[in-house]
Amino acid sequence: MMSRFLARLRPVAFSLSLMPLLLAVSPLAAHDYKLGDLRIDHPWSRATPGGAKVAGGFMKITNNGQEADRLVGGTLVSAGIVEIHEMAMQGNVMTMRALAQGLEIRPGQTVELKPGGLHMMFLELKSPLKEGEKVKGTLVFQRAGTIEVEFKVEGRGASGAHDHGAHDHGGHSGGHKH
């Protein structure tokens, strides 16, 4: 009885202890991060077409804690400015606007930043983002603090019809009324 129990238990314990090692050495391993109660899944961006100075940053953020947190900022080594944006209809025109208070992630909630929706906005890119690269950056949360991440650069057509690179970004700040 006991030996059967142990036989079942051992493979589980073995694979759990091995997991951090595999994550560290395998480039094919899932690309996710933990910071306090937050889990950040697959930060990615898209290759920029020649000369583009802007790109979007995407990921899933899950809050497994008891308190709300907020994504309030971040950095990307190749970007001069990083903002957090949402897409919103203004009349019948889709526009982007910066979230001055950041992006709230409530307890138990998973928020997805994705093309055409909530996103990080990388502005003033000093060098193009090339498919296959991993670009270092940080995410800053109000409660959990700062974490270093890598944004995986995917192909230009990746996930979603909305091409951020082609966006008229000047129009979005120009359209702001303060």
Which residues in this chain contact Cu ion in the complex, by CB under 5 A? Answer: 85, 96, 121
- Nearer Cβ to Cu ion, position 35 or 78? 78
43: nearest Cα among 109, 157, 103, 133: 133
Secondary structure (DSSP) of 9-70: HHHHHHHHHHHHHHHHH-TTS--EEEETTEEEEEEEEEPPPTT---EEEEEEEEE-SSS-EE
Alpha-carbon span 51 to 97, nearest angstrom: 23
Minimum distance from CB of 53 to Cu ion (Å)? 12
CB nearer to Cu ion: pick between 143 and 172: 172
Q: What are residue 121's phi and psi, to 5 degrees?
A: -115, 120
Min dist. Cβ of residue 55 to Cu ion (A) = 9
| Least CB distance to Cu ion at residue 106 (A) | 23
Q: Which CB atom, from 3 or from 168, has the smaller least distance to Cu ion?
A: 168
CB of 131 to Cu ion, least distance (A): 20
For Cu ion, give the closer residue by CB, 155 or 171. Answer: 171
